[in-house]
Structure 1
Amino acid sequence: MKGLLLRLSALDSDAASAVRVISFFDVLVAQHAGLERLVASTAQLAECPAGLSVPETGVWLRADAAGVSLAEAPPPAVSRELDGGGRVWLERAGEPLPLDEIVLERFAIAASVLLNETRARLSGLDDPALLELAVSASAGDAERSRALHLLGFSPLTPIRVLATPHALPDPPGPQAAIGSQHAVLAPAETIVPTGHTIGVGPMVPAMRAPESWRAATVAVRFAAPGVIDTVEWDSLGALGPIAQRLPADGVGDVPDLAALDRLAAEPGGQDTLDLLTAVVATDSVRKAAALVHRHHSSVAGRLARAEATLGFDVHSPGGRFRLTLALALRRLRDS
């Protein structure tokens, strides 16, 4: 198709140019191009954003002039209805070009043909399989929008994806096991369940669910069960992107992690680590003690021994940051 990508701005509104446009769409149909390719190619041909929407089946696609997928609501645009429902559109800024009408006509015809080829592709899938499609980065936009529709979401609905090591007993949305985690697709305003280890992805349009899922799987790695159960990607700041790029063996020789490992190997070591985690999660020793269900007067000695092993004051601004980073890196290493 690279050789068939035309520029409407370079064509005259004559019969020969119209035939070239018709041939462009005929080749897409003959090659059984996917709907994503159809929309992207049309946008590149027209040199403006283009889209396809079929509310009955949930298919919703939009691409910019470079053919890159978009997941935002389009502005008012010139459109053409499809046989059987739905529409296609071109988002031309300014006056339409002479060949826009024939582009829309052939775009609509090609969309109708290709929709018939793909209409039943997801029939028979259950909710877990549909959810896996919705959060999969390898799924096409047409499959994703159709799966979202069957799950009860529109492509532009604001959502968050949750990642949890264990299935939630009362999930706030569709849930499925994906690898070592469980994914939950939830409306953005959902209150996250408490008492469970959960990573919360950022709010995105449902069509960008794979981005939220990937972030949620990173966020859950920063959780400390029993102390910090829920971690939101948005609260991680720079730590989130760093964790996405950090190789599994990239922190093995950090001295502060070695000191934490020595603490963990001592009798009651996990209690010490929980206390240190509570210290960086709160703003006082009293609150930290309450978080781990200890009296504040009984934790002073444990903190002092921990500081002796760590080699720094965990209450100073620098020590607090250093401990926060070390604990985070240790959870990343071990998750």
Structure 2
Amino acid sequence: MEGLLLRLSALDADAASEVRVIAFFDSLIARRVDLDTLLRTTAQLTECPVGLDAADRGLALAAEAVVRAGVPTPRGARVRELPDGARVWLARTGPELPLDDMVLERFAIAAELALARGTLPELGDPALVELVLAERAGEAERSRALHLLGLTPGARVRVLAVADGSVELGGWSAPLGRSRAVLLAGPPELAAVRAPTRVGVGGEVAAMDARQSWRQARLAVRLAGALSWDPPVCWWERLGSLAAVAEGLRAEEIGRIPDVRALDRLAAAPDLLLILSAVCGHDSVRKAGYALHRHHSSVTARLAQAETELGFPVTTPDGRFRLRLALMLRRLRDNTD
């Protein structure tokens, strides 16, 4: 139905046009559209910013090309109040159009019904965290979930991906896939995290963008190690250019890399990958052997076996970098969500 008109400025203020505006919003109501869709299509219809302000629900939404949260009612906007105290608004920069009053009236009715339909879990319910981090959730749903968690849309947060759900890190959490998502407001307290727990730490973002931090945390946890010389906590921000490389590679592509395939073959030899990982984590073979509780001559002999398969020395700076990259890519391939 909304395909019949998406340009209010093209309509005259006659009875037929008013009927078409009513039919437009009735169609949205009948389809039980969510608040995001209601705001976005109303903005298309009016060709100007529109919004909804429901402070008691944690909603301050505006729409033009897209829906944005945390936007207050602009000064000078035309406002229509709903029975529960919420209000919708229309902010036209040019002269008012004859049908603006009709649009505000029908917009308010549709918004009231959409608000009445919207129910979210109780405070503390993991479903709230899941909703905040969901890729496909609307801005209205996300904003209301944050409100119930006691967070404003602009609050600074981080999201952690914890491979072992038994670790208590504070914040709000929910099991998502094979990891536990932990939503934190403020710096994470990670000093108590010890192997074998693996934790990925996403970047700091505004609460409305928490799903971005969750994506980063999920990538970081796949690269986190579980050995004493390979930190179990991986910060996305510290991955640097490796993050861009990891984000662009699929598991099957990693599996075709010659260095990774060589490591797959070496994995059949007892403890050889453990030795290679130790060499990457220390600046000498002697220190690697000490960490493994082995004599350095034994480690040197095993490294010679590995170098034959890999085709490059692993104790030079370039070789150590190449080996570490291959080990990390292999871990990325094998640690999936």
- The code of the aligned residue for 2:181 comes to A
- For residues 185 and 96 of structure 1, do their structure 2 counterparts lie closer, same or farther at Cα, with a shift above 3 Å needed? farther
Q: What fraction of aligned residue pairs are identical, expressed as a percent? A: 47
Question: How many residue pairs end up in the alignment?
Answer: 326
State how 1:248-267 maps to structure 2 within 5 Å.
248-267=251-270
1:51 maps to 51
2:32 maps to 32
Counterpart CA distance in 2 for 1:315 and 1:105 is 74
> Is the aligned partner of 1:148 residue 2:146?
yes
**Cα offset, 1:52, TM superposition:** 2.2
> Is the aligned partner of 1:217 residue 2:218?
yes
Counterpart CA distance in 2 for 1:33 and 1:248 is 38
- The code of the aligned residue for 1:143 comes to E
Structure 1: unaligned runs, 5 residues or longer: none
Counterpart CA distance in 2 for 1:71 and 1:291 is 55
2:179 maps to 181
**Cα offset, 1:91, TM superposition:** 4.9
> Secondary structure of the equivalent of 1:251?
helix
Deviations 1:140-198 (A, max 9, x none): 33333222222222233232211111125332311111221101111254444543411
1:278 maps to 281
**Cα offset, 1:298, TM superposition:** 8.0
**Cα offset, 1:321, TM superposition:** 4.1
Deviations 1:9-41 (A, max 9, x none): 333455654443343223322332221211111
- For residues 285 and 108 of structure 1, do their structure 2 counterparts lie closer, same or farther at Cα, with a shift above 3 Å needed? farther
- The code of the aligned residue for 2:26 comes to D
Contact conserved, 2:88 with 2:108, CA < 8 A, in 1?
A: yes
Contact conserved, 1:39 with 1:51, CA < 8 A, in 2?
A: yes
1:207 maps to 208
2:111 maps to 111
- The code of the aligned residue for 1:198 comes to V
Counterpart CA distance in 2 for 1:128 and 1:177 is 8
Q: CA RMSD in A?
A: 3.6
- For residues 216 and 48 of structure 1, do their structure 2 counterparts lie closer, same or farther at Cα, with a shift above 3 Å needed? farther
Deviations 1:246-289 (A, max 9, x none): 3332222322123333444434324313314425xxxx449985
Contact conserved, 1:278 with 1:292, CA < 8 A, in 2?
A: no
Deviations 1:188-235 (A, max 9, x none): 544445434111223333233333222321221111113122222333
2:94 maps to 95
- For residues 10 and 259 of structure 1, do their structure 2 counterparts lie closer, same or farther at Cα, with a shift above 3 Å needed? same
1:311 maps to 311
- The code of the aligned residue for 2:271 comes to G
Contact conserved, 1:28 with 1:38, CA < 8 A, in 2?
A: yes
Contact conserved, 2:50 with 2:62, CA < 8 A, in 1?
A: yes
Contact conserved, 1:71 with 1:205, CA < 8 A, in 2?
A: no
**Cα offset, 1:300, TM superposition:** 7.9
1:268 maps to 271
Contact conserved, 2:50 with 2:89, CA < 8 A, in 1?
A: yes
- For residues 148 and 294 of structure 1, do their structure 2 counterparts lie closer, same or farther at Cα, with a shift above 3 Å needed? farther
State how 1:131-146 maps to structure 2 within 5 Å.
131-146=129-144
- The code of the aligned residue for 2:173 comes to Q
Counterpart CA distance in 2 for 1:46 and 1:191 is 48
- The code of the aligned residue for 1:36 comes to D
**Cα offset, 1:43, TM superposition:** 1.7
- The code of the aligned residue for 1:219 comes to A
More deviation in 260-269 or 209-218?
260-269
Contact conserved, 1:263 with 1:273, CA < 8 A, in 2?
A: no
Please give the TM-score of this superposition, normalised by the length of structure 2.
0.79
- The code of the aligned residue for 1:249 comes to E
Contact conserved, 1:289 with 1:299, CA < 8 A, in 2?
A: no
Counterpart CA distance in 2 for 1:158 and 1:209 is 9
Please give the TM-score of this superposition, normalised by the length of structure 1.
0.80
**Cα offset, 1:331, TM superposition:** 0.4
**Cα offset, 1:114, TM superposition:** 2.0
**Cα offset, 1:127, TM superposition:** 1.7
Counterpart CA distance in 1 for 2:318 and 2:89 is 56
Deviations 1:277-317 (A, max 9, x none): 425xxxx4499859958799789837953545433244656
- For residues 290 and 228 of structure 1, do their structure 2 counterparts lie closer, same or farther at Cα, with a shift above 3 Å needed? farther
- For residues 237 and 74 of structure 1, do their structure 2 counterparts lie closer, same or farther at Cα, with a shift above 3 Å needed? farther
Contact conserved, 2:121 with 2:127, CA < 8 A, in 1?
A: no
Counterpart CA distance in 2 for 1:18 and 1:325 is 65
> Secondary structure of the equivalent of 1:202?
coil
2:7 maps to 7
